[in-house]
């Protein structure tokens, strides 16, 4: 059964009275191609999965790895794509997303899936099959970046549940990349437990030894000692700029983690965004010139946004390779400038009530650099290892 959406409800509804029960004749259970040639397997996987979606069927992915040649397009309202055993979709090599939910398609549910970046083939950027309307590569797209009137449905929202994404990690190739991990363009989408990760470590290649070993042969080495079992990702490897961009209005996400991307980790452009629990670890490998000096943050609400509610927001630093200073972990429009174009430096200096972000904190986990403030230049500096610096519910403390 696919659960229905209700209002003013807390916790699970287990009586099943409102469940949307689907006949299994409308469900396609799929397995990944057993073809050893990944190029051939990608063609076969995309064809078989898209055929079921085009027939209007719900899709159940058996455990396994599914390289894709083209994006899976979800085009019918209320369709379900459910992964079992963390079924993994590997993105097409032309930068197209693993999944695109087409605009004006309410009630779609996607759950239990791992999304994985691939090594992009620049020669394919001009392919007719490439699904990047604005040229930006990603792993999941909900809606279309060139359509801004896709309101969705407040009584039948789209839902993302238990979605995990990685740029690097299991794949020892450090040239895998994407531009953004996930973008939500449609309005009225709900997320529950999303983890969007740029790898800080990946599997070792055959015969390779760790670059940050626990016991380096050179005892005078100043490199942090991390692990003998993994390669620690370095600057300009496993590249991805941003984890999440939300352009739609009335998007709610409960349980969101975005880690290690090289620019703003999360950018929220839509109105009435709602986040409960956000965890963000800044990238280990960036330099001050590439990150701190450019004003990148762990969580940014765009200057034009008038209404946003994020609670329990945590941003951590562990700048492993360079001394990086981050002016502020979280940035959002302040009361006096909501809805207006603002100068970032002026906003940081002017303060104002923090009514968009509550219960925020930052932590200096280890190594170099620091975060100088929690929200909009206020809230204290995180310089003592492991000690949180908080901004309490009493938001007047920011004034």
Q: How high is the pLDDT of residue 1?
A: 57
HSE-up of residue 224 (Cα within 13 Å, Cβ side): 15
Predicted confidence pLDDT, tens digits, the chain (399 residues): 565 666 667 777 777 777 778 888 899 999 999 999 999 999 999 999 999 999 999 999 999 999 999 999 999 999 999 999 999 999 999 999 999 999 999 999 999 999 999 999 866 665 667 889 999 999 999 999 999 999 999 999 999 999 999 999 988 999 999 999 999 999 999 999 999 999 999 999 999 999 887 755 555 456 667 788 999 999 999 999 999 999 999 999 999 999 999 999 999 999 999 999 999 999 999 999 999 999 999 999 999 999 999 999 999 999 999 999 999 999 999 865 445 544 444 444 433 344 799 999 999 999 899 999 999 988 889 988 999 999 864 343 343
User: What is the C-alpha separation between 288 and 208, in angstroms, rounded?
Assistant: 29
Spatial contact of 160 and 192, defined as CB atoms under 8 Å apart: yes
The structure tokens 């190594």 sit at: 367
H/E/C letters for each residue in the chain?
Answer: CECCCCCCCCCCCCCCCCCECCCHHHEEEECCCCCCCHHHHHHHHHHHHHHHHHCCCEEEECCCEEECCCCEEECCCCCEEEEEEEEEEECCCCCCCCEEECCCCCCCEEEEEEEECECCCHHHHHCCCCCCCCCCCCCEEECCCCCCCCCCCCCCCEEEEEEEEEECCCCCCCCCECCEEEEECCCCEEEEEEEEEECCEEECCCCCCCCCCCCCCCCCCCCCCCCCCEEECCCCCCCCCEEEEECCCCCEEEEEEEECCCCCCEEECCCCEEEEEEEEECCCCCCCCCCHHHCCCCEEECCCCCCEEEEEEEEEECECCCCCEECCCEECCCHHHCCCCCCHHHHHHHCCCCCCEEEEEEEECCCECEECCCECCECCCECCECCCEEECCCHHHHC
- Phi and psi torsions of 317, nearest 5°: -125, 145
Query: CA–CA distance from 107 to each of 248, 268, 281 (Å)?
Result: 15, 22, 32
User: What is the C-alpha separation between 285 and 262, in angstroms, rounded?
Assistant: 9
Q: How high is the pLDDT of residue 350?
A: 39
Q: How high is the pLDDT of residue 15?
A: 76
Residue 278 CB neighbour total at 10 angstroms: 25
């Amino acid at each position: 059964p696919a659960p229905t959406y209700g209002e003013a409800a807390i916790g699970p509804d287990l009586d099943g009275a409102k469940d949307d029960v689907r006949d299994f004749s409308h469900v396609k259970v799929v397995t990944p191609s057993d073809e050893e040639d990944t190029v051939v397997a990608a063609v076969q996987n995309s064809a078989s999965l898209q055929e079921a979606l085009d027939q209007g069927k719900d899709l159940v992915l058996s455990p396994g790895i599914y390289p894709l040649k083209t994006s899976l397009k979800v085009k019918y309202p209320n369709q379900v794509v459910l992964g079992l055993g963390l079924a993994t979709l590997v993105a097409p090599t032309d930068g197209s997303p693993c999944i695109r939910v087409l605009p004006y398609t309410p009630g779609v549910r996607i759950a239990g899936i791992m999304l994985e970046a691939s090594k992009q083939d620049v020669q394919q950027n001009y392919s007719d099959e490439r699904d990047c309307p604005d040229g930006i590569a990603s792993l999941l797209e909900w809606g279309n970046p060139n359509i801004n009137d896709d309101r969705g449905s407040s009584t039948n929202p789209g839902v993302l549940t238990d979605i995990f994404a990685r740029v690097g990690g299991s794949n020892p190739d450090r040239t895998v990349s994407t531009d953004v991990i996930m973008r939500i363009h449609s309005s009225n989408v709900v997320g529950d437990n999303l983890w969007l990760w740029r790898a800080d470590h990946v599997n070792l290649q055959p015969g390779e030894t760790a670059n940050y070993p626990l016991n380096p042969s050179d005892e005078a080495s100043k490199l942090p000692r991390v692990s003998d079992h993994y390669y620690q990702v370095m600057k300009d490897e496993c590249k991805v700029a941003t984890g999440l961009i939300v352009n739609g209005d009335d998007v709610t996400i409960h349980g969101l983690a975005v880690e290690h991307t090289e620019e703003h980790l999360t950018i929220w452009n839509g109105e009435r965004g709602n986040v409960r629990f956000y965890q963000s670890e800044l990238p280990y490998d960036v330099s001050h010139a590439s990150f701190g000096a450019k004003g990148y943050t762990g969580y940014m609400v765009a200057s034009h946004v008038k209404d946003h509610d994020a609670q329990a927001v945590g941003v951590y630093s562990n700048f492993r390779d360079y001394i990086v200073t981050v002016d502020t972990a979280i940035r959002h429009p302040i009361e006096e400038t909501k809805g207006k174009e603002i100068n970032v430096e002026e906003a940081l200096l002017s303060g104002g009530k923090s009514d968009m972000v509550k219960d925020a904190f930052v932590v200096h986990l280890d190594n170099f650099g620091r975060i100088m403030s929690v929200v909009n230049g206020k809230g204290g500096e995180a310089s003592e290892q492991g000690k949180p610096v908080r901004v309490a519910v009493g938001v007047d403390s920011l004034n």
